[in-house]
């Protein structure tokens, strides 16, 4: 099974900051990588698919990059609603489908 | 508007059974793979099971194989998760999720239903 590791596990930022977080896969997954944001008490929402494609309706301050085993999610200017937990998910293999353990973004 | 509405969660004793349901609306239900993803309290996301649009392909994570059964009724636009022989580690919020066509990600989620396994 593919293992997904996110870093850091948590980070602090202020509104307007630029933040970057990382997701690493245990083997190459090409660009089969998705990012989600989960606000407190809510269901996750898809932000980016295929490593760098913004999901329809998602704010342009979110961007993704990477291929192979290393991927990044960048928020260009953090807004209040972005203080949440971010998960990556690989979509390379047939199930099991694996998520990273999450990165918590705090104020 | 895509809507997924889970029901059926609650308190169940270890070794007991529970059936979760997910009612879908607002999209071509019989064109999408559907899945269940769970989240234990304070923990991350864990994929549980997926079922293809025509029920031909069904997958489970190892820890629930032989205990959980996923099914769907395309006419009624429902997805089910039958949970048998439940254990304490099955305690979680269970989300119903829609897989994108061609890309194995989850582009729509329900609000979740809490399953608590405790004596």
Residue A107 has pLDDT above 90, yes or no: no
Q: How far apart are CA B18 and CA B71, in angstroms?
A: 14
Residue A30 has pLDDT above 90, yes or no: yes
In DSSP terms, B12 is beta-bridged to B117
Tell me which chain A residue has its CA closest to the CA of residue B109.
A43
Q: DSSP letters of chain B?
A: --EEEEE--EEE-TT--EEEEEEEESS-GGGS-EEEEEE-TT--EEEEEEE-TTS--EEE-GGGTTTEEEEEETTTTEEEEEE-S--GGG-EEEEEEEEPSSS-SEEEE---EEEEE--
Residue B93 has pLDDT above 90, yes or no: yes
Range A23-54 burial, b when 16+ CB lie within 10 A, else e? bbbeeebebbbbbbbbeeeebbbbbbbbbbeb
Confirm or reject contact between A98 and chain B (CB < 8 A).
yes
Mutate to test the interface with B, among A23, A38, A88, A96 (most CBs of B within 10 A): A96
Which pLDDT value is given to residue A95? 83
Contacts of B35 in chain A (CB under 8 A): 97
Which pLDDT value is given to residue B104? 86
Which pLDDT value is given to residue B103? 84
Closest CA to B112 of A45, A103, A9, A36: A45
> What count of residues does chain B have?
119
Sequence-separated (6 or more) residues with CB below 8 Å from residue A60:
A54
Q: Calculate the average pLDDT of chain A.
A: 96
Which pLDDT value is given to residue A74? 98
As given in the structure block, the two tokens for residue A42 are 């809510």
Between chains, do A95 and B62 touch, taking CB under 8 Å as contact? no
Residue B101 has pLDDT above 90, yes or no: no
pLDDT interval class at A91 (50, 70, 90): very high
Between chains, do A96 and B62 touch, taking CB under 8 Å as contact? yes
Measure CB to CB from residue A89 to each of B105, B109, B110 and give the nearest one.
B105
Q: Are strands A10-12 and A103-106 parallel, antiparallel or unpaired?
A: parallel
Closest CA to B18 of B90, B109, B74: B90
Between chains, do B45 and A96 touch, taking CB under 8 Å as contact? no
Mutate to test the interface with B, among A6, A43, A90, A104 (most CBs of B within 10 A): A43
């Amino acid at each position: 099974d593919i293992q997904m590791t996110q870093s850091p596990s948590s980070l602090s930022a202020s509104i307007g900051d630029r933040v970057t977080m990382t997701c690493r896969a245990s083997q190459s997954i090409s660009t089969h990588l998705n990012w989600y944001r989960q606000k407190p008490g809510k269901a996750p929402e898809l932000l980016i698919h295929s490593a760098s494609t913004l999901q329809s309706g998602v704010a342009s301050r979110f961007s993704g990059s990477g291929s192979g085993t290393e991927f990044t999610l960048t928020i260009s200017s953090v807004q209040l609603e972005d203080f949440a937990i971010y998960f990556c998910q690989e979509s390379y293999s047939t199930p099991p489908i694996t998520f990273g353990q999450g990165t918590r973004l705090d104020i | 508007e895509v809507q997924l509405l889970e029901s059926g969660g609650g308190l169940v004793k270890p070794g007991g059974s529970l059936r979760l349901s997910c009612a879908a609306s607002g999209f071509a239900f019989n064109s999408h793979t559907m899945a269940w993803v769970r989240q234990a309290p304070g923990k991350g996301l864990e994929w549980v099971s997926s079922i293809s649009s025509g029920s031909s392909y069904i997958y489970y994570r190892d820890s629930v194989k032989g205990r959980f059964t996923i099914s769907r009724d395309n006419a009624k636009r429902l997805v089910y998760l039958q949970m048998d022989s439940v254990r304490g580690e099955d305690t979680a919020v269970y989300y119903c999720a829609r897989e994108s066509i061609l890309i194995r990600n989850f582009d729509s989620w329900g609000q979740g239903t809490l399953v608590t396994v405790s004596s």
